[in-house]
Structure 1
Amino acid sequence: MEKIDAIWHHPYMAGDSDKDEFPSDAADRFQVRMPPGMRDRLKEWASANGRSMNSEIVDRINRSFEMDEIVARTPEIHLQQQLSTAKLQHDLARADYEATKQILQRMEESVINSEATMQAVLQMLEQVRAEREATARPSGKPPDTRKK
């Protein structure tokens, strides 16, 4: 019974209410005319989302403002993405260049080593040929100096 008396004697219920007593009383009010059927749709969505119709309207308006801000920033975001992509492509190209440069250096070293190896092999073959000729020639004959 005390709870009922407390509620009944609350300043808002007693008729001598202050407009600032409840937060909703301090909020701005605005009447909206809606096309036929929109109020019913709004009521359905509010119910599905577990909100009052007023909360549903405020949420949808806030989301539209957020979307406008996103759209306004889209060119900037797009340019930032393009810049990031360009930097990444530059870094990849630089890495490819460095890798290709190292491969070419190794190939050059390999060719130089191969040339040196080939020179050594040719010298050994020349020595073997000279030794064969020396052993195959009769002792009194001069060596064959012709190039073959």
Structure 2
Amino acid sequence: MSDDSKYPSELAERFQVRMPEGLRDRIKEAAERSGRSMNAEILQALEQHFPPQPSIFEVLERVHEAIDLAQQSNGLPYRRMLIESLDELSERVSSGLETDQFVSMTLPNHHKQMSDFTARFKRWKRASEYGVELSDLKRELERGLFANAGHDKIALAIKSFKEGDVNAALKLFRLDKTKFAEPEKSYQAIEDHLRNFYAENWGPPDSAGEF
């Protein structure tokens, strides 16, 4: 099957491009060297520059491959930090947040890693269908989900919660489109965390007259 037959002309989207002087000749030369038509050569270049977005399964697989490589790199001084960061990323993606605790197993290490990967993928699928679980949300809150939010954003979010405008509060952290398995408990957990975070950094919010 030729490259052009992959893209039947009657099904292909058409898009006209104005080429600067000399570019057409360079494409023609490259196509001749590779044994492709000019159309196929252009498509090949576009595919390389604009690859399709990886699926969540591919993302998690790459993360676990990186964790495995980091675990084998005993000489790297930042190995532990890298493993922990990748592990945290995998858990956050799995939980459904932008972001089940695993039971200790006695299987060989590579079997356990595959089991962890499978469990996390199932968690992501479950979060997509039913929403982010409360336990996952609380774990990410403790890990610092809002740690980089400033005083004004935290204050405004607390004010929105107090006024009953949950959506406005969540929107400040781009969580307004996130589905939660237990919405009311999740909103309360977020509000409580924000109030505690504010108190730890700037003092009790209500007594300070902010709200």
Q: TM exceeds 0.5?
A: no
Name whichever structure is richer in helix by fraction.
1
TM-score (norm 2): 0.25
TM-score (norm 1): 0.34
Q: Which has the higher contact order (CA 8 A, sep 6+)?
A: 2
Larger radius of gyration: 1
